[in-house]
Structure 1
Amino acid sequence: MSDGMAGGSTPLGPVAALRRIAFLLERAREDTYKIKAFRAAAAAILPLSPEEVAERAAAGTLADLPGVGASSAAVIAAAARGEVPERLARLEREHAGPLAAGGRELRALIRGDLHSHSDWSDGGSPLEEMAFTAIELGHEYLVLTDHSPRLRVANGLSAERLARQLGVVDAVNEHLAGSGFTLLKGIEVDILDGGELDQTDELLDRLDLRVASVHSKLKMDAGAMTRRMRSAVANPRTNVLGHCTGRLVTGNRGVRPGSEFDARTVFEACVEHDTAVEINSRPERRDPPTRLLELARDVGCLFSIDSDAHAPGQLDMLDYGCERAEDAGIDPDRIVNTWPRERLLAWANPLREAA
């Protein structure tokens, strides 16, 4: 259920209060530097005992700790006294609750998120924090999909770094055993100019799920772009076609028109090869546009409603995609992240499941 993290008028401990503030700031798409300050403060006091935190709060020495500033010290001190910090109370009033008015029934059916980023590529938080927040939101699974090597501007993962990340994911899942939640291994793999995927087949085969997206040469000739996307969709390792037009409609990155391609041809290839079309929930993308979303619906595509989160609080952006999917009248069973984990993994890895 959306906004499942603890909050409201219930007093939280200092670390939880700082994390909740950061979460709400991320949902509201506030400045990154503010968010990092509160997460840094949470990390700074995490190793301390409650008694030491309380003593420092009483003595006024919290800000002497590296990573703790005046604003975060005020939050910690209030929480240590068993109070709801004023900053947190204000953010709860302004930014808690559903992000979208519609799509509530569908949102309740969503079991996980297939597109998320950590600080291994261009996300802002460790993968552990992304996993813990997903659990707090009620997810049964989260697919970690950091970028592939070619996207250097996003610190894309080389084959060696991706292999190391897979070991970290295993360790996180071992720690979370029995929680009912699984951090799944994935990638947002670049679709190269000729439709190839930007990672080795051997590594792609080790993943649980793969989102393939175009990030370069978005103004490519429509015919060439159609062939490029169709080739990627036909690759048996591709599970989800990410933000298919690449457009930006608002936000601090400016606006950008979508790529031109024969959408019917691409979506028919998605149906033929059992590849889902992503409904990207980021408000600056709203991708695919409504006319293409309805075309994909009519052609018979599967869908994945994804947050494309680059920070924990952005995981809640699924609300926006659910509202769009519900408005388009898409059957929930055609949305692959309403499926239980076992069904999702069997669909994403048919050859592995058949072996």
Structure 2
Amino acid sequence: MAIPNTDIAEIFNKLADLLEIEGANPFRVRAYRNGARTVGGLSQNIPTLLKEGKDLTELPHIGPDLADKIQTIADTGRLPLLEEVEQRTPEALSKLMAIPGLGAKRIAALHRELQVDSLEDLKRVVRMGKVRELEGFGKKTEELIKTGIERIENSEKRFSLLQAESIVKPLLAYLATIEGGKDVEVAGSYRRRKETVGDLDILITCKQGSPVMEGFVNYEEIKKVLSQGETRATVILRTGIQVDLRLVPQVSYGAALHYFTGSQAHNIAVRQIGIKKNLKINEYGVFKGEQRVGGKTEQEIFEQVGLPYIEPELREDRGEIEAALQGTLPRLITLEDIRGDLHSHTKATDGSNSLEEMAQAAAERGYEYLAITDHSKRVSVAHGLNEKQLARHIKEVDRLNEKLDGIVLLKSIELDILEDGSLDLPDAILKELDLTVCAIHYPLGLSRKKQTERILRAMDNPYFNILAHPSGRLINEREPYPIDLERIMMGAKERGCFLEVNAQPARLDLTDIHCKTAKDLGLKVVISTDAHSITHLDYMRLGIGQARRGWLEPEDVLNTRPLSELKKLLERD
């Protein structure tokens, strides 16, 4: 059983949640959260590393104790300590941590005072109006909790793109070992690079009589086989995700790939063009009467209806058909277009690696520059940089740049936008930086008008450069804070500021829709990883996927520029 890294990270996060609810030592709780972040950000699966004899204690935040626990989880799929804690504190309480307004202390109070052990218990006491009566809660908090419960209940089970990748990678590796398979592709929303994935559609071409189907249903990660036929099987994996495998003949591969990639609205639009040309288009091919005239490749599908090839990320029926007909499809940005990353963290605050390690990792990815954006003091009393600490940090970056070859570290900081719109540190130190990455972390509950004006006031500061994770959302966890994002985009363009596409898998913020809005307004964006370790730098691919879905081209993105041009664009009048 090859347990995915995301599952190991989830076990550690759940343990951290329950320990925090119990009031355990904060350093112990933080150790598990840091361990979860390290494991979740690895590019290689833990079982593979263990098989290769990797010493896990060489990983950031992984000491001998956590390494032993990871080994146990990898071997058994369980963690006895978590099961022991769950005997004392109900497992369901950890799920309540995703509800806005509920932290560990409030959950502990609900558990202690109102015997809340589950989401159903919480719904009951909210409905009875008992929550507002507890000390430290009140009517406003109760309403916030009620809204959070409704959001959780109304959301279907969807996996982040990173979770889906961690499931797909070993599955494809397994399928490659089965004799007879040829072309293999994951279609659906995964191929369109949507930020969340509900299920997986996999297409395989193979010779007749090959053992691909039988091999697939024997995959060790399958929890249940829902159906199995000669050309299709549907299974549920241990992770809970559904996988549909389809065997398709080579002559229909392109048609099937187009059909199952979707979206449905895009497919309907293409079929309607086909109907006008007396063509029938389905998953088996393109037909004129009874004659097949295309379908072996996707290119043939588009050619038959008079369209150029449309990239999967654009297939949402959001104007791509019209753009294709007019010859105005964008040349979408690729990972190879990126010259550097403008949002990253080191050990100086809450990162896992040193300045030099981050620089080396960025250089290995072919980057020309990397901005070091450790947090300012307001984000964390224990870890944020104050003015004097930032001054020392600037000197350290300068010293390291003198010996670095092939890459430049940019002096920066992730700077809090305070409630009144001022920035967390004085201009006297900000003017020493190459750029600033500014963000809202709290309070998140201001009105739409106040939150918007707060950011616009911050942008009035001549040392404001980039607005980080602009909507503040966390996918499947936290809704965006109320904000007039189009007004902020217009304000940013007027002031010479930029917005970020944050590539963290839980954020992907800006959304694809807002990426397109920025493009339409002529506002350039930055695609950054918000990396807290060297492995997080690889999240850039997720940001690229989001940008491609938003029609972005290289010229729409600031960090496709060489350093000299980047610095000129960052200069404010």
- In the superposition, the TM-score normalised over structure 2's length comes to 0.45
Query: 2:353 pairs with 111, 120, 125, which one?
Result: 125
SS of aligned partner of 1:291: helix
1:26 aligns with 2:42: yes
CA distance in 2, matches of 1:328, 1:341: 25
Q: Which has the higher strand share?
A: 2
SS of aligned partner of 2:436: strand
Q: Is the 8 A contact 1:278 1:306 kept in 2?
A: yes
Tell me the alpha carbon deviations over residues 249-302 of structure 1, each in whole angstroms, 9 at most, x when there is no partner: 15xxxx111110111211110110121110011110011223333222222211
1:340 offset after TM fit, Å?
0.5
1:219 offset after TM fit, Å?
1.6
Map 1:247-286 onto structure 2 (within 5 A): 247-250=473-476, 255-286=477-508
CA distance in 2, matches of 1:127, 1:297: 33
Stretch moving more, 213-222 or 324-333: 324-333
SS of aligned partner of 2:499: strand
Stretch moving more, 202-211 or 327-336: 327-336
Query: 1:134 pairs with 351, 354, 362, which one?
Result: 362
1:166 aligns with 2:388: no
Residues 29 and 129 of structure 1: CA distance in aligned 2, closer, same or farther (over 3 Å): farther
Q: Is the 8 A contact 1:122 1:154 kept in 2?
A: no
1:149 offset after TM fit, Å?
1.1
CA distance in 2, matches of 1:238, 1:310: 22
Give the counterpart letter for 1:118 in structure 2. Answer: T
Q: Is the 8 A contact 1:267 1:296 kept in 2?
A: yes
Residues 40 and 299 of structure 1: CA distance in aligned 2, closer, same or farther (over 3 Å): closer
Residues 109 and 262 of structure 1: CA distance in aligned 2, closer, same or farther (over 3 Å): same
1:206 aligns with 2:432: yes
Tell me the alpha carbon deviations over residues 166-185 of structure 1, each in whole angstroms, 9 at most, x when there is no partner: 11111211121xx2210110
CA distance in 1, matches of 2:448, 2:520: 22
SS of aligned partner of 1:184: strand
CA distance in 2, matches of 1:125, 1:154: 18
Map of 1:37 onto structure 2: 57
Tell me the alpha carbon deviations over residues 33-84 of structure 1, each in whole angstroms, 9 at most, x when there is no partner: x997223699x9xxxxxxxxxxxxxxxxxx9xxx999x99xxxxxxxxxxxx
CA distance in 2, matches of 1:134, 1:194: 36
Structure 2, gaps ≥5 residues long: 1-37, 47-53, 72-168, 174-189, 194-312, 314-331
Map of 2:568 onto structure 1: 346
CA distance in 2, matches of 1:202, 1:96: 54
1:304 aligns with 2:530: no
1:114 offset after TM fit, Å?
0.3
SS of aligned partner of 1:237: coil
Tell me the alpha carbon deviations over residues 182-222 of structure 1, each in whole angstroms, 9 at most, x when there is no partner: 01101110001011111110111100111111010112111
Map of 1:228 onto structure 2: 454
Report % sequence identity: 34
Map of 2:408 onto structure 1: 182
Q: Is the 8 A contact 1:188 1:212 kept in 2?
A: yes
Give the counterpart letter for 2:57 in structure 1. Answer: A
1:194 aligns with 2:391: no
- In the superposition, the TM-score normalised over structure 1's length comes to 0.70
Q: Is the 8 A contact 2:512 2:549 kept in 1?
A: no
Residues 35 and 130 of structure 1: CA distance in aligned 2, closer, same or farther (over 3 Å): farther
SS of aligned partner of 2:412: strand
Residues 41 and 211 of structure 1: CA distance in aligned 2, closer, same or farther (over 3 Å): closer
Give the counterpart letter for 1:134 in structure 2. Answer: A
Give the counterpart letter for 1:169 in structure 2. Answer: V
Bigger relative contact order, structure 1 or 2 (CA pairs below 8 A, ≥6 apart): 1
Query: 1:217 pairs with 436, 439, 443, which one?
Result: 443
Count of residues paired in the alignment = 279
SS of aligned partner of 1:143: strand
Tell me the alpha carbon deviations over residues 95-116 of structure 1, each in whole angstroms, 9 at most, x when there is no partner: 999xx86689521010000000
Q: Is the 8 A contact 1:240 1:275 kept in 2?
A: yes
Residues 225 and 68 of structure 1: CA distance in aligned 2, closer, same or farther (over 3 Å): closer
Structure 1, gaps ≥5 residues long: 1-21, 45-62, 73-92
Query: 2:380 pairs with 152, 176, 199, which one?
Result: 152
Give the counterpart letter for 1:124 in structure 2. Answer: S
1:151 offset after TM fit, Å?
1.0
CA distance in 1, matches of 2:505, 2:341: 16
CA distance in 1, matches of 2:431, 2:375: 16
